[in-house]
Structure 1
């Protein structure tokens, strides 16, 4: 049994090692993506007009309309409803459909930064574009983390699917690794020890085995949440629904429209925002509306409630959100952190756990450290495999070159 599990761990580990190395290193960096991106690209995030105290800001809805008027080829799909002092308002856009071809326009960008006071467009970029220059570095690393930049195909986000499969293998291999890390109940202390003074291969082995044992629980959380991030509707929600009821998401109860047939809303974002704010007031929410998005594939608006700069929901289970039907203005759903069934709360915890934001700043630091640990475990695992493979090959060569043992000739043979 142990031999089989060791063999399984070897090949499962080799399959995911390089991908986890990439995910670990990029994850350690993108825990600070907003801060680093702002530092590298002040032209995108710092308003040229200076502090908002120096003038009256335009309404976010007016800024979105201004961006769409400047380039009719695009539709604003995400709009922050307030900017941090001295910062731009950074919108996300998607291309509209070209009536002449029936295909989407190619504006060459999907992110726009506007000065909140003057309304001037300061910069544009294609978020997620492959590139290591200052403008593209952080988005490139972010997308590399969850998709490896594998192109989509056959209507499937292949990169997201592949990394989701890597996450599933990681979960399975985590349990196998824990089992084989304790070969003997009487020698369990060795599975927690590091032979620092001996160094070399022995230390490499301990870093892999004992290091993995010490942080096994955190590794399992990262593995499970990685599956949730990439395969929420394909794997995680169906699995969780076996054990607990789940409140249906508006993206589960509707059929996605084809990319070249986006759903045109009958109510504008200002009306959707008004409907959401009325519902938030009815629920007694005091946190302001912080951002609104529109999904052309599902015809749904989503309004998140958070203070400026807290769009990721630092601390706790994230920010509350209301959904509004883009056709008739009816409420299409709600996500309220900490409420609902056990399954609902479990799903709400996935991104906060994966990003570390459930613990605020200390959690983000922890996730950065864990990203480096994942990379170390990947490298040490490859070293162990390479060392043992080299030993097996050398043993095979020695066996082939060994002289054939001979004994005394049989009597009848000697008589001849």
Structure 2
């Protein structure tokens, strides 16, 4: 029974591994880059994100920055404004270029001079490409299906791998220690099996949380577990005023009020509605919170700037809070640098598993083909006459007697 179970596990491990290996490699490798996206983005595209703040300079009002961006790039709809809490960072104004949700022109402005520093197609930015590779292999809905199936396959691969790794009394020691001085074949097996065992709990957690983005029913299952109902769509409320003339410093007033109501440090994002009848959504990330991805939301009247509604993290449902934690668990940003370093190591080891696994399979295939060739050669050789073999046996017996 045990042998049968291991045989089934071996077949699942092999064929699912061969089928999803390349996808797992790409997803894990891109995932290792995304772990430090927040830290690497300002370095990779420094001109877009960073400026040198002058001494004792005043920031230009947000309304003026937005006007500059929309004037220099006319015919595009204002989508978002992102303000980082650091003095050496640009203010990014995102403009919708077409009806496609991801067709965004991002304009970076110096918050002290009000001038445009740089503009880029957000789809072409380095980490935008990395993220599309990670989630969809840059293949849209088709890629999403492929990565979703590969993610499920990888969960089965890990379970079957644990069955194959499980030690007995004779090999218990070698199942936990890599023999670095061994032959390439043995070392490769150790790197695959032993490293795979050590990262298995982390990888299983990362892959499981990844299903949230692949399948809507998994996302709803999370909300059913904590709230007893599926996720409800959050929309900006309608404006309370009928004023058509907007204040010249409307966004600056919203910005100041947001910092007053939410005094903690963190990036602030303005999200503008499709129509002027809806409120402006202003979210602020709490960088002082114990865990990552804690965000509060405020809704302001699009015409007067008056606060309409608060949606603070502390008042959210358990399902929404659980959903917020999924992202830092998946990316390793849960507790900052310590968990990010763990996530990076785990992602790199995971990317190596399809390679070491393929080498194990390839080596076994070559060994089997070598045995087959040897047997075919033996069949073609002429057989020794029976009397010759008798002479050899007799001589051997005499030597042993003597």
TM-score, length of structure 1 as denominator length: 0.73
**Is 1:320 aligned to residue 315 of structure 2?**
no
2: distance between equivalents of 1:301 and 1:397? 74
For residues 96-107 of structure 1, the aligned pairs below 5 Å read 96=98
**Is 1:110 aligned to residue 87 of structure 2?**
no
2: distance between equivalents of 1:184 and 1:339? 49
- Give how far 1:158 is off: 3.1
Report the CA distance shift for 1:324/1:369 in structure 2 as closer, same or farther (over 3 A): same
Report the CA distance shift for 1:296/1:394 in structure 2 as closer, same or farther (over 3 A): farther
Partner SS state of residue 141, structure 1: helix
User: Contact 1:318–1:337 at 8 Å: present in 2 too?
Assistant: no
User: Contact 1:272–1:301 at 8 Å: present in 2 too?
Assistant: no
**Is 1:8 aligned to residue 24 of structure 2?**
no
**Is 1:84 aligned to residue 86 of structure 2?**
yes
**Is 1:126 aligned to residue 126 of structure 2?**
no
Aligned length: 367
State the match for 1:208 in structure 2.
192
Q: Give a deviation string over 1:259-306, Cα, whole Å, max 9, x none.
A: xxxxxxx9999979988998998xx75436722224649x78543223
- Give how far 1:202 is off: 0.7
- Give how far 1:195 is off: 1.5
- Give how far 1:220 is off: 0.9
Q: Which has the larger radius of gyration?
A: 2
1: distance between equivalents of 2:262 and 2:221? 32
User: Contact 2:61–2:252 at 8 Å: present in 1 too?
Assistant: no
2: distance between equivalents of 1:56 and 1:327? 26
Match 2:220 to one of 221, 224, 238: 238
Report the CA distance shift for 1:23/1:335 in structure 2 as closer, same or farther (over 3 A): farther
State the match for 1:291 in structure 2.
269
For residues 352-367 of structure 1, the aligned pairs below 5 Å read 352-367=328-343
Report the CA distance shift for 1:145/1:360 in structure 2 as closer, same or farther (over 3 A): same
Q: Give a deviation string over 1:307-337, Cα, whole Å, max 9, x none.
A: 6xx5xx8850422232759999997894627
Partner SS state of residue 113, structure 1: strand
Report the CA distance shift for 1:195/1:212 in structure 2 as closer, same or farther (over 3 A): same
Partner SS state of residue 221, structure 2: helix
Report the CA distance shift for 1:127/1:315 in structure 2 as closer, same or farther (over 3 A): farther
For residues 243-258 of structure 1, the aligned pairs below 5 Å read 243-245=225-227, 249=231, 251=233
CA RMSD of aligned residues (A): 4.1
Match 1:306 to one of 255, 273, 285: 285
TM-score, length of structure 2 as denominator length: 0.75
- Give how far 1:217 is off: 0.9
1: distance between equivalents of 2:96 and 2:197? 45
1: distance between equivalents of 2:82 and 2:228? 29
Q: Give a deviation string over 1:104-157, Cα, whole Å, max 9, x none.
A: 699x8622111112221111112232xxxxxx444433432332222x3xxxx3
User: Contact 1:146–1:163 at 8 Å: present in 2 too?
Assistant: yes
State the match for 1:336 in structure 2.
313
State the match for 2:77 in structure 1.
75
State the match for 2:164 in structure 1.
180
2: distance between equivalents of 1:325 and 1:248? 27
User: Contact 2:189–2:360 at 8 Å: present in 1 too?
Assistant: yes
